[in-house]
């Protein structure tokens, strides 16, 4: 009753209160500010008035001095029209300045008295100036000048006039500043009062609006709750009361359990979904949520929905109070995890298969280790025997061996040595694929220089007349396996030296270019024999050669080793060439191999 009475009183007094508030906010501050503005303008006008008086007095003095100087010049016999014009114009300016001063100081009797005395003095000085202008006797002129200066002083009267105006100007400046400060204070005060009154009005309006919103919210709360559920939840959701009847559900729940377009609220949960919710264990768990305050989290339940398809459903349920009722309900969400379960089973099966593949790979690696051991030990012993007995046979026969026998023994020895070299290269190639990478900062510039020095020394020892012209670009520092990078440069630079060996002057270019994506592009070019690009696909295979061993020695594993090193580092290699026009090998290393920058220490 008290609240209703207050509401009625507010309805009666609302319009008068708003009208009073608007009057206080708009009209009263405007009137006060207008009055203060007039006072401020008046003070400013007085300041301007004082400044004009000072200016006129200075102009008056200047005109008097101008007339007197012209008269003095005429007394010395200088008769010029311009002097007469100056005296005439000066006299007119004096009269005008005096008239303006009298008009400006009409409200100040003291200043008018001073102006009267000043006017008399100026009139006398003008008469004396006329006499001086006509006088031609020096003595008479001197007497007139003395009378004008001594007997009729003008400076003191003008100083008094200006001093009085300065006093008035200072006083009026203070009044003007005071008015300005008062105007500013009143403006801010009026603004503060306006804001307070405006805030009070807004608070009163909000209070009234709040009461109306509360009343409207009570009537629309049920529809807003249902719309919120439907708009925010994409999986099946349902609200159940204490008897496990449907209070609210969304479209996903209706489609999953075949509820159709009819309103199924009030229907028992056990009667929907073609027996999907007949399980007593589920019904008991849902009952315990309201009776005992329990919750249901990630509970898997096998059921068949309206379409008869067996599914694995993940249930989550908890107690939830309703804003428009005192009773609590059960909020249950249903998620179909059948695909997830099938995916997990498939993943487990793939993991088992992967474990089998890993075991197979491990077995292959063990067999490869055994093969490498066999190659390293078992095959070397027969080769050593063949090479050793061939040497012994050659020494045994001595000079008695004919030319054919010596040729046979040389073929046996060179073939044994070639076989040993092949075994060594094959073991190196095998270890490159199995050994772990030992990543560290590698200075490519130093590594290329070291490789060049070693290979150039070996080439000079075998071919003293072979000249090589080197062009090496600046190289970066990368993070890589140093031994593998050394193997890479040794093979590429070694091939460049070998296949350009028949040139009078071999030219080898080692280039570098930073790629836009941060990668590193290296190249090794020579002017040697080159190759036919039709067979470029065979370059990087094991034991693949495009030249006869009699022309260029080698095992055919070097470029395969280079490709394996690059693949271990995430890089790639390709070649460009023409027969008898040299070859260029390009390889790229990824940006991830950049060495971290380090600040230099002093």
Inform me whether the pLDDT recorded for 534 exceeds 70. yes
Sketch the domain layout of the chain as residue ranges: 2-195, 233-336, 343-378, 436-593
Inform me whether the pLDDT recorded for 453 exceeds 80. yes
Residue identified by tokens 């005192």 is: 326
- State how far the Cα of 151 lies from the Cα of 130, in Å rounded to an integer: 16
Tens digits of per-residue pLDDT, 224-267? 766 676 667 678 888 888 888 888 888 888 888 888 777 778 88
Mean pLDDT across the chain, nearest whole number? 76
Residue 300 in tokens: 């898997």
96-109 burial, b for 16+ CB within 10 Å, e for fewer?
ebbebbeebbeeee
Q: What is the band of 489 on the pLDDT scale with cuts at 50, 70, 90?
A: very high
What integer is the mean pLDDT of 114-134? Answer: 75
CA angle, 554 then 557 then 558, to 5°: 80
Task: Say what the pLDDT of residue 497 is.
Answer: 86
Segment among 100-109, 349-358, 488-497, 513-522 with least mean pLDDT: 100-109
DSSP state of 503: S
Q: What is the band of 447 on the pLDDT scale with cuts at 50, 70, 90?
A: very high
Task: Say what the pLDDT of residue 523 is.
Answer: 94
Segment among 72-81, 385-394, 536-545, 591-600 with least mean pLDDT: 591-600
- Architecture of the domain made up of 233-336: 2-Layer Sandwich (3.30)
Q: Which residue has the higher pLDDT, 373 or 218?
A: 218
- State how far the Cα of 361 lies from the Cα of 352, in Å rounded to an integer: 14
What integer is the mean pLDDT of 553-571? Answer: 77
Residue 468: name the closest of 546, 532, 525 by CA.
525
Inform me whether the pLDDT recorded for 282 exceeds 70. yes
Task: Say what the pLDDT of residue 312 is.
Answer: 85
Maximum average pLDDT range among 229-243, 274-288, 441-455: 441-455
Residue 179 in tokens: 């008015």
Options 3.90.1150.10, 3.40.710.10, 3.30.390.50, 3.30.565.10; CATH for 436-593 is 3.30.565.10
Task: Say what the pLDDT of residue 476 is.
Answer: 92
- Range list of H helices, 374-512: 380-397, 403-434, 444-462, 482-499
- Residue 419, classed as helix, strand or coil, is helix
With pLDDT > 70 as the criterion, what percentage of the chain qualifies? Answer: 72
């Amino acid at each position: 009753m008290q609240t209703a009475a207050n509401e009625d009183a507010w309805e009666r007094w609302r319009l008068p209160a708003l009208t009073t508030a608007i009057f206080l906010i708009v009209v009263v501050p405007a009137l006060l500010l207008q009055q203060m503005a007039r006072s401020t303008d008046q003070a400013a006008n007085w300041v301007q008035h004082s400044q004009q008086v000072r200016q006129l007095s200075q102009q008056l003095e200047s005109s008097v001095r101008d007339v007197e100087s012209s008269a003095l010049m005429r007394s010395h016999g200088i008769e010029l029209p311009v002097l007469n014009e100056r005296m005439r114009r000066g006299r007119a300016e004096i009269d005008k300045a005096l008239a303006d001063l009298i008009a400006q100081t009409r409200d100040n009797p003291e200043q008018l008295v001073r102006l009267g005395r000043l006017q008399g003095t100026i009139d006398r000085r003008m008469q004396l100036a006329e006499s001086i202008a006509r006088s031609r006797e020096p003595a008479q002129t001197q007497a007139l000048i003395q009378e004008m200066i001594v007997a009729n002083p003008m400076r003191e009267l003008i100083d008094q006039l200006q001093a009085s105006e300065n006093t008035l100007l200072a006083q009026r400046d203070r009044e003007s500043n005071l008015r300005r400060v008062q105007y500013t204070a009143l403006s801010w005060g009026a603004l503060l009062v306006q804001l307070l009154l405006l805030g009070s009005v807004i608070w009163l309006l909000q209070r009234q609006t709040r009461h109306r919103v509360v009343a409207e919210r009570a009537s629309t709360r049920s529809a807003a709750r249902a719309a919120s559920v439907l708009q925010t939840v994409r999986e099946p959701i349902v609200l159940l009361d204490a008897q496990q009847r449907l209070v609210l559900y969304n479209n996903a729940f209706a489609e999953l359990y075949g509820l159709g377009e009819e309103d199924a609220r009030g229907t028992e949960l056990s009667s929907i979904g073609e027996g999907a919710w007949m399980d007593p264990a589920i019904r008991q768990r849902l009952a315990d949520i309201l009776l005992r305050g329990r919750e249901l989290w990630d509970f898997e339940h096998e059921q068949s929905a309206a379409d008869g398809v067996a599914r694995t459903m993940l249930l989550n349920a908890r107690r939830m109070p309703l804003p428009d009722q005192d009773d609590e309900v059960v909020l249950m969400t249903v998620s179909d995890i059948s695909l997830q379960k099938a995916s997990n089973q498939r993943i487990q099966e793939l993991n088992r298969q992967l474990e089998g593949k890993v075991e197979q790979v491990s077995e292959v690696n063990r067999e490869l280790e055994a093969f490498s051991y066999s190659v390293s030990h078992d095959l070397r012993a027969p080769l050593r025997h063949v090479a050793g007995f061939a040497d012994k046979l050659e020494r045994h026969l001595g000079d008695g061996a004919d030319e054919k026998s010596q040729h046979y023994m040389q073929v046996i020895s060179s073939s044994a040595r070639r076989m040993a070299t092949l075994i060594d290269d094959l073991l190196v190639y095998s270890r490159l694929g199995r050994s772990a990478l030992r990543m560290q900062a590698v200075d490519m510039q130093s590594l290329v220089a070291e490789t060049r020095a070693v290979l150039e020394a070996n080439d000079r020892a075998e071919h003293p007349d072979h000249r090589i012209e080197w062009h090496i670009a600046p190289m970066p520092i990368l993070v890589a396996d140093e031994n593998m990078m050394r193997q890479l440069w040794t093979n590429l630079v070694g091939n460049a030296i070998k296949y350009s060996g028949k040139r009078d002057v071999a030219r080898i270019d080692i280039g570098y270019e930073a790629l836009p994506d941060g990668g590193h592009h290296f190249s090794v070019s020579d002017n040697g024999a080159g190759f036919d690009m039709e067979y470029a696909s065979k370059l990087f295979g094991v034991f693949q050669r495009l030249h006869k061993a009699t022309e260029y020695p080698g095992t055919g594993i070097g470029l395969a080793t280079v490709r394996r090193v690059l693949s271990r580092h995430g890089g790639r290699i390709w070649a460009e060439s023409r027969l008898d026009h040299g070859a260029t090998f390009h390889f790229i290393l990824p940006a991830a191999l950049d060495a971290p920058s380090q600040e230099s220490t002093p």
